[in-house]
Chains A and B, each alone.
Chain A
Amino acid sequence: MTSTEGALIGFILLLLFLTGSMPVGFVMAFVGLIGFAVMVSPQAAFSMATIDLYTTFSDYSLTTIPLFILMGQVAFHTGISRGLFDAAYHWMGRLPGGLAMSTVGASTAFGAICGSGPATSATIASVALPEMRRYKYDLQLATGCVAAGGGIGMIIPPSIVFIVYAILTEQSIGKLFIAGVAPGLLISLLFCGVIYIQCRHDPNLGPPGPQFSWREKIVALRGVWETLVLFVLVMGGMFRGYFTATEAAAIGAAGTFAIALLKRRLTWHKMLQCLNETIRTSCMVMVIVAGAIIFGKFLAVTQVPSNLASWLAGLPLPGWCIIGLIILFYLIGGCFLDALALDILTIPILYPVVQALGYDLIWFGVMIVVVTMMGVITPPVGVCVYVVSGMARDVPLEKVFRGSLPFLWALVLAAILLVIFPSIATYLPSLTR
């Protein structure tokens, strides 16, 4: 069997097992183990898989993942999100679709302390949806903006996707984090633009809320201080060189615990919920990472990634066209596969292509996150849509997907802008050492 045939059979097996509902991480490890055993030797495959599993679980740099997840979970369970929404609501609620814009604003702010899209959606949905219902917002718009807004949590640092990407491509976590800030804010503005256009076209979709005095607006800003303190502490400390990304994650988690304790919002039950959710989510991510590493070892012996990179780089097509095809691949793939799993599976194969084409890997990381944000709101596996649908049980799933569609176009526009003006993502990291 040639190495290309081996890789092809491996991919077919991978798809078969994935569609058979075997967990993604297990599938990658299983197929990688069998493939390596066939291509090299059963004994080598056996020890490779064991050592890769163990070294992934004990990798110091990967400890960033559970710690940032813990930070987000504590923020979620202790109600930090309510203050953010209230502040945004006082400032933007008066506009047509203002509550939906406040939802996007609160998602952006919550993204600064939570690196997960679904967690951001769940958190903001719990405070924003009741308010939007109260003001008779169209539920398609309301649920759609909460689902899409959750994705902003994936690009505003800290971001789990950025951490995984950084580890897989050996890029700086800090630079990727700072690269996500401007595109994240741009996407927030585009989302607000989408809401504004929809509500101008049909004012019944998002009737304006009450007018607040300047005093009330200023007072409402008090709800932002916890998030601001945590963001400055974590990101500031990292960029000033006081601590590494892993240490920043630990400081962020400890800081969130401290704030929750100070505000008497942390009960024993809530703490157990935070730990429970954190270990589950972290283990799920780590198993996928370990599986992808094992599968990647199998692909490496087939030399398919390097051959594919050379072939794609040698195509008589302009670089932007190949990048466009890669983005299209992620957009379609993200519809059928969990977005993070798709990233972990394909980044090791595709980043050498991007590198060979001369594109900046930090910029590509941002592009990956933007297409991942598309993946979490596209059917049939848009995880943020499922989260929101689970929290608004009277709204049909199709309605939430339809509500997310205008935001998908905003994300496509953001991706196009990032291709035309890559400095949106690369300017801020270029200022850091």
Chain B
Amino acid sequence: MSPSPALSDGARPPIDLYHRALRGLVHALAWLAGGGLMVMMLVTSTDVILRKLGLSLTGAYDIVKVAATITVAAALPYTTATKGHVAIEFLFHKLGRRGRIVVDALMRSAAMALFGLLAWGCLDYGNSLRAKGEVSMTLELPVFWLPYVLAVSCVLVVLIKLYHLTHPGKPMIKP
């Protein structure tokens, strides 16, 4: 992956390192999301097959729920970094250059505020689940850490939006 011209020209190693670390984290979470997806598929299929054989996979429901949460939460930074979210852009592109910069900055700031709040909320929610000792239905696995994963993803979305704000028009990661 080649560094952006702004970075290579500016010769600012700490920022370059920071962006590389950010990309690395996003990729790591994308791998986690892919793994979660495979777990969902394999556990559910195995459960169905075992059920036909008169057996059962105890806690399949719990595992799939946990894997689903991890899959979507961990995919959030990657989807944002690759600009995979659906947006209506045809009116935006009709604006002049200055108009686009202003509107883009406003929209990204709003998104950063939203995900900043959601990250804080997820942390808070995880703390409340921890305090209540909330566990999954069958396997009784602690679930307080799942909102923490989502909180990390939300923080990453804020950082990715900041990157997009400072590097207009460029996806942070090519899909």
Contacts and interface: CB of A to CB of B under 8 A. Distances in A.
Report if A and B associate in a common complex: yes
Interface of A: 17-26, 29-30, 33, 46-47, 49-51, 53-54, 57-60, 62-63, 66-67, 70, 242-243, 246-247, 249-251, 253-254, 257, 272, 275-276, 278-284, 286-288, 336-338, 340-341, 380-381
Nearest to A253: B41
Chain B: interface size category: 35 or more
Interface in B40-81: 40-42, 44-45, 47-48, 52, 61, 64-66, 68-69, 71-76, 78-79
Contact of A60 (B68, B82, B84): B68
Contacts of A281: 84
Contact of A50 (B69, B88, B122): B122
Given A57-B72, A278-B37, A279-B79, 13 more contacts: A23-B87, A30-B113, A46-B117, A53-B121, A57-B69, A60-B68, A66-B37, A247-B44, A279-B34, A279-B78, A282-B75, A283-B33, A336-B88
A284 B79 contact: yes
Nearest to A341: B86
Contacts of A63: 40, 44, 64-65, 68
A54 B122 contact: yes
25 contacts: A17-B107, A19-B88, A19-B92, A23-B86, A24-B87, A26-B110, A26-B111, A46-B117, A53-B122, A54-B125, A60-B61, A63-B44, A67-B40, A67-B41, A247-B47, A251-B44, A251-B48, A254-B45, A257-B41, A275-B34, A279-B33, A279-B37, A279-B75, A280-B175, A283-B79
A60 B137 CA distance: 13
Contacts of B82: 280
Nearest to A258: B45
B145 to A, nearest CB: 12
A58 B68 contact: yes
A275 B111 contact: no
Contact of B72 (A21, A242, A249, A286): A286
Contacts of B122: 50, 53-54
Contacts of A47: 121, 124-125
Contacts, number: 179
B68 A284 contact: no
Nearest to A24: B86
Nearest to A56: B72
A24 B47 contact: no
Given A30-B110, A280-B79, A58 B69 contact: yes
A341 B75 CA distance: 19
Given A60-B61, A251-B45, A49 B121 contact: yes
Nearest to B33: A279
With most chain B CB atoms within 10 A of its CB, the pick from A67, A338, A380 is A67
Contacts of A53: 118, 121-122, 150
Given A30-B110, A282-B75, A67 B175 contact: no
Leading 9 A-B pairs by shortest Cβ distance: A50-B121, A250-B44, A23-B85, A21-B92, A283-B75, A275-B34, A279-B75, A58-B69, A283-B79
Contacts of A66: 37, 40, 68, 71-72
A46 B121 contact: yes
Contacts of A23: 85-87, 111
A281 B79 CA distance: 8
B85 A50 contact: no
B111 A22 contact: yes
B88 A18 contact: yes
B172 interface: no
B146 interface: yes
Contact of A17 (B64, B84, B110): B110
Contacts of A275: 34, 37-38
Nearest to B84: A280
Contacts of B125: 47, 50-51, 54
A60 B65 contact: yes
Contacts of A21: 87-89, 91-92, 103-104, 107
B150 to A, nearest CB: 6
B114 interface: yes
Nearest to A45: B117
A49 B117 contact: yes
Contacts of B124: 47, 50
A288 B86 contact: yes
Contacts of B110: 17, 22, 26, 30
B90 interface: yes
Contact of B52 (A46, A54, A242, A380): A242
